[in-house]
């Protein structure tokens, strides 16, 4: 049998230490649960949800700076003046709604973290 690499050795040592400290780690079901917890702790965490749209980012930043909406539309919406009035109105309404929703999410109270 080959010598385990340092990472493998460290994981095996940690597993033996956990088995010694926690008597309930005796069966395969408990071992799978411990492995899932270990995997979750080592995995890179990603923010859930869709990535924010660039126009909404720009508009939210400008609105936070106190800029008026008519200037925000021109800056955040690509080719704003090349569109028909109906398209401009539609895009402007959607942009305002998205910025308002983002502010509501940011101002909402955060839920308590789940105890483990």
Structure tokens at 107: 């101002």
Q: How many domains does the chain have?
A: 2
Give residue 2's Cα distance to chain centre.
41
Residue 22, SS3 per DSSP: coil
Q: How many helices (H) and strands (E) does the chain have?
A: 5, 0
Mark whether 61 and 89 lie in a shared domain.
yes
Q: CB within 8 A of 25, min separation 6: which ones?
A: 18, 19, 31, 34
Per-residue pLDDT of the chain (116 residues), as tens digits, is: 566 789 889 888 988 888 888 888 778 898 888 888 888 888 887 777 788 899 999 999 999 999 999 999 999 999 999 999 999 999 999 999 999 999 998 888 877 766 65
Q: Whole-prediction pTM value?
A: 0.56
Residue 15 falls within a domain, yes or no? yes
Q: What is the pLDDT of residue 3?
A: 67
Residue 13, SS3 per DSSP: helix
Mark whether 36 and 67 lie in a shared domain.
no
Residue 16 falls within a domain, yes or no? yes
Mark whether 36 and 64 lie in a shared domain.
no
Q: Residue 17 half-sphere exposure, CB side, CA atoms within 13 Å?
A: 6
Mark whether 82 and 102 lie in a shared domain.
yes
Q: How far apart are CA 86 and CA 74, in angstroms?
A: 15
Residue 49 falls within a domain, yes or no? no
Considering only CA atoms, give the Rg of the chain: 26
């Amino acid at each position: 049998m080959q010598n385990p690499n340092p990472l493998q050795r460290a994981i095996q040592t940690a597993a033996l230490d956990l088995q010694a400290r926690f008597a309930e780690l005796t069966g395969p079901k408990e071992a799978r649960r411990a492995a899932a917890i270990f995997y979750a702790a080592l995995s890179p965490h990603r923010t859930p949800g869709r990535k924010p749209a660039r126009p909404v980012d720009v508009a939210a930043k400008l609105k936070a700076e106190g800029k008026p909406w008519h200037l925000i539309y021109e800056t955040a919406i690509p080719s704003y003046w090349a569109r028909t009035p109906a398209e401009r109105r539609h895009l402007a309404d959607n942009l305002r709604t998205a910025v308002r929703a983002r502010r509501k999410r940011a101002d909402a109270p955060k839920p308590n973290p789940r105890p483990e």
